[in-house]
Amino acid sequence: MSGIIDTVGSKSGIVGSDVYPTGHVTNVWNTLDTAGNVSVYGTTGTLVNGSSSIDQISGRKYMVSFTGGLNIHNQGGTSTSDYGARLWLYKHTSAQSSLTTSISGEYVYYVTYGQALKIATDSGSFLFLPYLMRFTFTAGTTDEIFWNLACTNNEATIRTTFYRTGYWKLQFFAMEWMP
């Protein structure tokens, strides 16, 4: 019998390189954004974090996610029944800055947080929610890709605050695995 034992413990028969089975995790990225809380006012889409990047390889599978805590609050002045915010996951070919409102790149996923209340309420009411944004894809190219989380509120009087300090840090996590 010839060949070498690769890093996953099976006989590959290939000298000088490792053979990874389908589903084998090959890379992980994990960063915490602790640059202070960010608030998004009104209905203008706004990036809530500086870009996090991964070096993707064509044909490999990836999962990217953002987790943390947010607070949806009515700024007052008018009554609203839609305490909602839409979170958008964007991918870019170049880095983007936090609080950018002229968002470039491609949005790949969104989810709505909050709720429509039965009775409209004014200032002082708020919701505090944990969130998880997760997106899975197969890379079509070999590039460095930058990821951002963006927010759009459903009503003009709504403010959504993303916590990046204390217990609720904004966390970016990505994982690469073999197809």
Write down the pLDDT at residue 175: 92
Distance CA 57, CA 138 (A): 9
Gyration radius of the chain over CA positions = 21
Owner of token pair 């009411």: 125
Containing H/E element for 94? Answer: none
pLDDT of residue 76: 67
Domains, the chain, ranges and CATH?
26-177 (2.60.120.1340)
DSSP 5: B
pLDDT of residue 123: 54
Residues 140, 161: Cα–Cα separation, whole Å: 34
Residue matched to tokens 């990225």:
29
Q: What gap in Å lies between CA 79 and CA 82, rounded to an integer?
A: 9
DSSP string, 115-172: EEEEEEE-TT-EEEEEEEEEEEEE-SS-EEEEEEEEEEESSTTEEEEE--STT--EEE
For residue 119, which amino acid is it? I
**Which backbone phi and psi does 67 adopt, to 5 degrees?**
-135, 160
pLDDT < 50 positions in the chain:
1-6, 9, 11-15, 124
Any idea what DSSP says for residue 78? S
Q: 122: number of CA atoms within 13 Å, CB side? A: 4
Structure-block tokens of residue 130:
């944990």
